[in-house]
Amino acid sequence: MNPQRTPNVQYAQVNGLNMYYEIHGSGMPLVLLHGGGSTIESSYGRILPQLARSHRVIAVELQAHGHTPDIDRPLSFEQDADDVAALLGQLHIEKADIMGFSNGGTTALQIAIRHPGLVNKLVLASTTYRRDGMLPGFFDGFDLARLDMMPQPLQKAYLKANPDPKGLQVMFERDVARMAAFIDIPDPMIKDIRASSLVINADSDVVRVEHALALSRTLPNARLAILPGGHGEYLGEICWPDSPLPALVAAMIEAFLNR
């Protein structure tokens, strides 16, 4: 992130969780939801400063991720959605734009389903709502998943936020269990989302381009952008430090949100 920007860093007690969040910039609230196994910085470090030029960015770290410790309850997209809604309630925010990447995009969909009044616009980046939205074979071998299979940049990003290897292992196990148990979101629930939405995907993503197209056509008010690269490359996600796309994508997101 831009070292010249000093965020307002805080914790909030929401639904028994000590949730970490940062506030950058000013303007219409924009909530950023990171991907699985990720942190604010690893998902959004490249584009957050640009988004904060025109928005009050509220970036959160969800249960067991980054600075936010795990607690004794299952991890689910529905619970994450309720946690974010509770945080916005504490911040007295009645409506916000919501952006989610990867698992964060699925959480953003659940916010729109469970708390529709909170949502102004949605940005859904590499977002899954059905199991068949992932590349063939994605769910194979989850029972044999090991921490050493997790990309090293994501491991280092977690340990930068929380230098506890036990926490890293817990986060990994939580995310694996959640994805292994993932159940499709029914189409009627997606069709009930009225917020204007921008669906973004990469052409070599783990989320199939056909799935992004289906999501954009199932949502009543959606636009679609397909960009070159791999999962998160267009955001400059930490596994893609040399991607030239983030500035372009951030400008596209700003144009959509400010339209």
Give the per-residue pLDDT at 196.
Answer: 98
Ranges in the chain, pLDDT < 50 = 1-4
Q: Which pTM value belongs to this model?
A: 0.96
Give the per-residue pLDDT at 1.
Answer: 47
Give the per-residue pLDDT at 6.
Answer: 67
Q: In this structure, which topology does domain 8-258 adopt according to CATH?
A: Rossmann fold (3.40.50)
Give the per-residue pLDDT at 143.
Answer: 83
Give the per-residue pLDDT at 171.
Answer: 97
Give the per-residue pLDDT at 20.
Answer: 98
3-state secondary structure of 208: coil
Question: Under 8 Å CB-to-CB from 145, ≥6 apart: which residues?
Answer: 172, 176
Q: What is the dihedral of CA 181, 187, 193, 194, to 10 degrees?
A: 160
- Given strand 55-61, what is the order of strands in its sheet? 8-14, 17-24, 55-61, 28-33, 96-101, 119-125, 196-202, 222-227
Amino acid at 255: A
What whole-number distance in Å separates Cα of residue 225 and Cα of residue 208?
Answer: 13
Percent of the chain with pLDDT over 90: 95
What whole-number distance in Å separates Cα of residue 1 and Cα of residue 184?
Answer: 34
Burial (0-12, 13-18, 19+ Cβ within 10 Å), 103: buried
Give the per-residue pLDDT at 125.
Answer: 98
Give the per-residue pLDDT at 4.
Answer: 40
Q: Domain spans of the chain?
A: 8-258
